[in-house]
Amino acid sequence: MKSRSSGNKMDKSFRLGKRGGTSPKAEDNANKSFLKIDLPDSVVALVEKDLGGVEKLKIAMASDMLPGGDFGEQWLLVADERIAVAGHVDGHVELIHSLEFGEKDKLLVKPGISTAVVDLQQESGRHRILRISNALQKDYSEATRLINDWIKKKEWNPEIFDARRHACSNCGRPLSKGMKICPLCVDKRKMIRKVLSFLAPYRLLVMQLFLLMIVTTLVGLVNPYIGKILIDDVIRPLKNMHWLPFLAGAMILIYAAQTGLQMFNAMVSSKLGTHAIYDIRATMFNRLQELSLSFYSKHEAGGLITRVNQDTGQLQKLLVDFIPYGISSIFMTVGILVILFYMSAFLTLFVLVPVVVSVIFIYRVFPRFRIYWQRYFEKRSRLASFVNDVITGIRVVKAFAQEDAELTRFNEQNKEYRDSAYEAEIKWAKTMPVIQMLTMVGTPIVWFVGGRLIFKGEITLGTVIAYTGYLTMLFRPVFILTRLAQDIPNTLAAAGRVFEIIDAEPEIADASDAIAMPEMEGNIEFRNVTFGYDMNKPVLEDVSFKIDANEMVGLVGHSGAGKSTIINLVCRLFDVDEGEVLVDGVDVRKIRYEDLRKHIGIVMQETFLLNGTIAENIAYARPEATVEKIIDAAKVANAHEFIISKPDGYDTEVKQGGANLSVGEKQRISIARAVICDPTILILDEATGSVDLKTEKEIQDALARLIKERTTIAIAHRLTTLKKADRLFVVDKGELKEMGTHEELVKKKGIYSKLVKLQTDLSQIRGVA
């Protein structure tokens, strides 16, 4: 959006640049420029007149829509304890709104389908401030959170966006959390250096390969020169006949040596490349284990699998093909050119013309191929994700007879994948013949110029024939280099996707001053916690409560109220945006992550079992557990009887996802897995959901034994399952609305009482049915 400069009237603090444009040399601009923009002179005059001057302004932002929904420009101005909006009225700029705000007020951004609105919530009601397009929603959401923080704490702290607003230091474009690489600003040379850094542990192999390349190149350059000797010193003068067997034998030996060296060269390069790719894949997988859940919520599983398997395969081509053959071709090219200049510098100058033109052509054309290969990779990743989803959910597909619909969707994505590959290949097919023509022009030039030099007696026939031989040899490394040049954009695109994962930083990581807590009591406290999976859409807002050690608390509320988010924050699967989550009085962000997770056990509604035996699944969190401890845990979970009834007992293989077990059996194995952890804090997330009454009774008995002397947080939609809870927390729309025992909350006649009545009515309906 364009805005006029206000000349000398503007305070220097407003010279941070317009929204959307940042200085490539100032990372601070990328973080904060959206809070203050250059204002037109007319708006500055209003600020000076009605808001105490520009030095009083905390925020000056432009909107891109008018109140009626048409595109137009207004300005949000925040100064001290006043929020104002300036806009055009009858051709003049005036203050449309000017509202004071107090401690209980709150600025809200409410998204719509294509637009969003900014409202000020006060005790007297809600006041519409302005309307914006969804393109500005993120900026305004961040600004309103900063303003609300200021209203509440009376402290102006724009630096909080240094962590929240993660942007490229070069172009200012926002980056995903944890990501270091901007796809548009990636340094190609740096990317290649990163790939080559994985060769560091194999320095001896690299040196061996380098020496092999030099020897192979030198051996390969000998035979054409022997041909020159044969013609000039044996065949043409018809003398030195006794040289023939020696020269022919030398050629055979050189060819044999060259073949052997090439085989050895290929073996060494293959070993080097495969070992390096093994390390890259291992590094990627290790980083995937370290990354937080927020990373996986933004990336499809199929796409990540594609990166681990296929993109690293592209890097293997770089290490096995490009580097050895590329460097060998460069050595060969340099060696041939040296010999050509030695034999005839004059003739070589003519030959270099098409070579130079070829190089310039490749340099200008090949960077354009990158976009086609990026598109190809994107389509391939999308197709892999789609296939992964369909195969994973094949039972649902068949249950609803959607095979034809999924086949149609597959064909559409497969067609896009095919078209992107065809587009990239057709661009190459149009380019390669031009390169071949330019390189092959050298042969007729040699015969034309060399023939004239022969007639003049300046060079011999053997020299020209040797020259054409070397020129023919030159074609091969040039073709290899040009063919490998095709893989450069392809490989760099793959490398970018690989290092996007390797360079990603886990959002959840131990602080530099993390505290070791080998023992915990289990006290939990939330202090003014605000959190959203999307920072612009809070799921929890200003939530505070305490849970004492060994207390059982039930979380109650409608779906989407924020119950699962609370347990995610307790487990530190995510970090809060504002406030603190404390365990035994220590912020979980300061507790060593390994210690925190060791003291928390989780039983989820959707039980995930890994491929392996039942015993291995029970002992998943304690692989060192003895058979006796595994059996004891199964008994506590009421799982022992059904396990030993199976033919292989505890050695029964669990099929993918536990397909050969019932829901109740999987749930009890999950409980046994939590038992063997012996956690201080126990999380029960719908642990008795989706099972029949008999199984629920068995699971409830198991849980009753499990929760003894542990801090327990339980989520359940069936309120009867929480009857043993010491207290119940009622969560509604991200806020803690009610707190107390079952009896206390029923007497309040509030949200919980309505939920109890609703479930009682539903139970009566089921009974009649």
Q: What are phi and psi of 722, to 5 degrees?
A: -105, 15
For Cα atoms 739, 745, 751, give the angle at the middle one, nearest 5 degrees: 85
How is residue 508 annotated by DSSP? S
Asked if 699 contacts 691 with a C-beta cutoff of 8 angstroms, the reply is: yes
Q: Is 481 exposed, middle or buried (0-12, 13-18, 19+ CB in 10 A)?
A: buried
Per DSSP, the residues of 673-715 read: HHHHH--SEEEEESTTTT--HHHHHHHHHHHHHHTTTSEEEEE
**DSSP label of 537:** B
Domain covering 188-502 in this structure, CATH number: 1.20.1560.10
What residues does each domain of the chain span?
7-164, 188-502, 519-599+716-763
Domain 519-599+716-763: top CATH class: alpha beta
Question: Would the pLDDT of 754 be above 70?
Answer: yes
Backbone angles phi, psi at 447, to 5 degrees: -70, -35
Strand pairing class (711-715; 552-556)? parallel
Euclidean distance between the first and the last CA atom of the chain, given in angstroms as a whole number: 63
431 versus 155: the higher-pLDDT residue is 431
pLDDT band at 546 (very low <50, low <70, confident <90, very high): very high
Q: For the CA atoms of 142, 148, 150, 153, what is the dihedral angle to 10 degrees?
A: -130
Query: Does 206 score more than 60 pLDDT?
Result: yes
Q: Are 337 and 478 in contact (CB under 8 A)?
A: no
The whole-chain average pLDDT of the chain stands at 77
Neighbouring residues of 162: CB distance < 8 A, sequence distance ≥ 6: 31
The Cα 716–Cα 684 span in angstroms is 8
Query: Which H/E stretch holds residue 369?
Result: helix 369-392
Length of the chain: 769
Question: How far is 239 from 514, CA to CA, in rounded Å?
Answer: 87
- Are 484 and 180 in contact by the 8 Å Cβ rule? The answer is no
Asked whether the predicted pLDDT for residue 164 surpasses 50, the reply is no
Mean pLDDT of 363-373: 69
Return d(Cα 110, Cα 105) in angstroms, integer. Answer: 16
The confidence band for 523, taking pLDDT boundaries of 50, 70 and 90, is very high
pLDDT, average across residues 23-28: 37
Check whether 1 has a pLDDT greater than 50. Answer: no
For residue 669, give Cα distances in angstroms to 659, 672, 679, 681, 683.
Answer: 14, 5, 16, 19, 15
258-267 long-range contacts (CB < 8 A, ≥24 apart) are 258/216, 258/219, 258/220, 261/212, 261/215, 261/216, 261/219, 262/216, 264/212, 265/209, 265/212, 265/213, 265/216, 265/324, 265/328, 266/324
Answer positive or negative: Cα dihedral of 610, 613, 617, 623. negative
Mean pLDDT within 346-372: 74
Q: How far is CA 516 from CA 312, 373, 621, in A?
A: 37, 48, 20
Question: Is residue 163 over pLDDT 50?
Answer: no
Q: Is 555 helix (H, G, I), strand (E, B) or coil?
A: strand
DSSP symbols for 392-452 = HTHHHHHHTT-HHHHHHHHHHHHHHHHHHHHHHHHHHHHHHHHHHHHHHTHHHHHHHHHHH
Pairwise CA distance, residues 235 & 460, whole Å: 13
- 335-to-61, 206, 459, 473 alpha-carbon distances in Å: 63, 21, 21, 11
Please give the share of the chain, as a percent, with pLDDT higher than 70.
83
Tokens describing residue 436 = 């071949």
pLDDT at 286: 86
Token readout for 49 is 């007149």
CA-wise closest residue to 38 among 71, 84, 4, 78: 4
Residue 11 has pLDDT above 60, yes or no: no
pLDDT at 20 over 60: no
pLDDT band, very low/low/confident/very high, at 525 (cuts 50, 70, 90): very high
Residue 11, both tokens: 């305070």
What is the pLDDT, as a whole number, of residue 5?
33
pLDDT on residue 745: 86
pLDDT of residue 766: 46
CB atoms within 10 A of CB 577: 18
Residue 6: predicted pLDDT:
35
Q: 516 by DSSP, 3-state: which?
A: coil
Hey, how many other C-beta atoms are within 10 angstroms of the C-beta on 179?
A: 18
β-pairing, 681-685 with 600-604? parallel
Q: Is the pLDDT of residue 526 over 90?
A: yes
Q: Which residues pair with 739 in a beta bridge?
A: 729
Distance CA 695, CA 172 (A): 56
Residues in a beta bridge with 60: 36, 77
**Which secondary structure element, helix H or strand E, spans residue 654, and what is its range?**
strand 653-654
- 433-463 pLDDT tens trace: 777 777 677 778 777 887 788 888 778 788 8
Cα Rg for the chain, rounded, in angstroms?
A: 36
DSSP state at residue 583: E
Strands 681-685 and 711-715: parallel
Over pLDDT 90: what percentage of the chain? Answer: 3
Where does the pLDDT of residue 470 fall: very low under 50, low under 70, confident under 90, or very high at 90 and above? confident
| Residues 6 or more apart in contact with residue 135 via CB below 8 angstroms | 64
CATH number of the domain at 7-164, please?
2.30.29.30
Give the torsion sign (CA, 588, 593, 599, 603): positive
Does the model's pTM come out above 0.85? no
Kindly indicate the confidence band of residue 186, based on its pLDDT and cuts at 50, 70 and 90. Answer: low
Token pair of 141, please?
A: 């959401």
User: Given a cut of 90, is residue 173 above it in pLDDT?
Assistant: no
